[in-house]
Amino acid sequence: MRLPAVTWSEVEHRARSVAGGPVTRCGGTDDLTVAGLVTDSRRVVPGSLFACVRGAASDGHRWAATAARAGAAALLADRPVDVALPVLCVPSVRAQLGPLGALLAGDPARALRLTGVTGSNGKTTTSTLLRGVLEAGGTRTGVVGTLGAQVGGRSRGTDLTTPEAPELHQLLRWMVDAGARQAVVEASSIALDMGRIDGLHFDVSVFTGFEEDHLDHHGTIEHYWASKARLFERDRSAAGVVVVDDPWGRRLADQAPVPVTRVGSAEDADVRVLGWRTGSAGTEVLLGDDTGGHRVSSPLVGRVHVTNLAAAWATGRLLGVPADAIAAGLATVAPPRGRNTVLGGSGRPVVVVDYAHTPRALAAAIATARDLCGPGGRLHLVLGARGRRDRYKRQGLGESARAADVVWLTNEGSHGENPSAIIGELRIGLLGAAAAVRTVPDRRAAISSAVRAAGPADVVLLVGRGHETRLLDTTDPRDAVHLDDAEVANTALIVEHGPPATADAAERAS
């Protein structure tokens, strides 16, 4: 992907359009050109504009000289730097990342209809469903989120659910160049808080639901909710689709300054869930809206996906996709990796791999797993919690885990914390539970032990990591080791229970 060369005067002009204070240019002629905005000095290429971003652990101004040696053409800074490069000095570098990232990517969002998706749970699944709906409606659509970025048959990895603004705009440019005319962007609360989607305007924004999360960053649940609510301000979105089955969603629907389509089981919902059923073959939902009743089917497994499907339906209608195309799209979208991924069965235990990492999401995942148990079957839960993140959730996870029959407490990646201490906090929520509790700190061994102990009618639920394939127990990312829950589970199924009994089971386990 070749990024356009932009003149220094154009950069200055765009920077001055951002409110917040004076902009000062030091050096550089009007016809100096830069190509690409970069926030990591290790990714600087000749001609880049290097943004000296102040972060929680590092200050980009300290790396200005390194960026210069790598060939940066100019700097974006908020204080003087002793580097012989042209500098644009601004009140806040971070506030400029969205507008300047858009400019230096050629303003790709202007060629796209954008849909934003936020919520504590369900963002990735809903984003994937929406891409399928829009593609079924005849429009090539890209998606950016937790699983990376995809357009057509191509994909790119991302380090964050919502990448930093320069990378996000470059991904949108990549999608436009690949023929996309629509894009779906997962908008995390931290991204909204830090301005990563600044410079974007969404035709529709979707709210999938809410519960306490990320309070290590936000501090309070009110701040967390307010961060998500920012997506529904008039300067960010033209319309909203809001799941109103929890009080926070209803509050957002009541307070949002943009027109809102309410989704849920409540009688006043604009798109109402009239009924549903789910099982190992998928999920079927009966929806009612102002045009009548609609039955939609999906290969996604679990009651947790009912409102995801309803929200995708409502968003598709707002974006002008015909009802039959929406239904066709929902029927063909494969489950996102690590979102209630079902393995095994056909005479062997069923294994479900899910990303659930909050108490309410865990409770929903357990309910789904219960639906998949055979007669007299037991539910084995393999549970951990991420180190250095949201300690307050751990007891709540333990409390939700009480609904399992056997809980295998293990490591989920301690990130420098003591894994035994994390397990101890989970165990507090399990005190007095009827569930049998086993402690197997090694995650591979925990998964294998749970699969070995499970009978043909049982379900083994692996939560917390979903699609992730790297596990980290120190503070240095270079120490991460490969660990894929689904891969370990598949191996354990073969070792402990033999190969699949039928071709159909083999396909499900692949």
pLDDT at 161: 76
pLDDT at 340: 84
- The share of the chain scoring above pLDDT 90, in percent, equals 74
Average pLDDT estimate for 303-330: 95
Binding positions are 41, 161-162, 188, 196
AA letter at 9: S
State the pLDDT confidence band at 223, using cuts at 50, 70 and 90: confident
| pLDDT of 153 higher than 80 | yes
The pLDDT tens digits of the residues spanning 128-145 come to 999 999 999 999 999 999
pLDDT at 218: 52
Q: Beta-carbon neighbour count of residue 193 at 10 Å?
A: 17
Reported CATH class of domain 341-509? alpha beta
pLDDT at 214: 54
Do the beta carbons of residue 472 and residue 479 sit within 8 Å?
yes
| Mean of pLDDT over the chain | 91
If phi > 0 it is left, if psi is from -120 to 50 it is alpha, else beta; for residue 418 that is beta
The pLDDT tens digits of the residues spanning 16-44 come to 999 888 999 999 888 899 999 999 999 99
Q: What value, to the nearest 5°, has the Cα angle with vertex 434 and ends 429 and 437?
A: 65
Lowest average pLDDT, out of 211-215, 253-257, 278-282, 393-397, goes to 211-215
- The share of the chain scoring above pLDDT 70, in percent, equals 96
Strand-pairing partners, residue 184, are: 115, 143
The pLDDT tens digits of the residues spanning 159-170 come to 777 889 999 999
| pLDDT of 278 higher than 60 | yes
User: pLDDT: is 376 or 357 the higher one?
Assistant: 376
CA distance linking residue 296 with residue 294, whole number of Å: 6
* Nearest in space to 468 (alpha carbons), one of 338, 334, 365: 338
Q: Give domain limits for the chain.
A: 6-104, 108-332, 341-509
pLDDT at 500: 78
The pLDDT tens digits of the residues spanning 449-482 come to 999 999 999 999 999 999 999 999 998 888 999 9
CATH of 108-332, one of 3.90.110.10, 3.40.1190.10, 3.75.10.10, 3.40.50.10480: 3.40.1190.10
State the pLDDT confidence band at 413, using cuts at 50, 70 and 90: very high
| pLDDT of 227 higher than 70 | yes
State the pLDDT confidence band at 502, using cuts at 50, 70 and 90: low
AA letter at 446: A
| CATH code reported for the domain at 6-104 | 3.40.1390.10
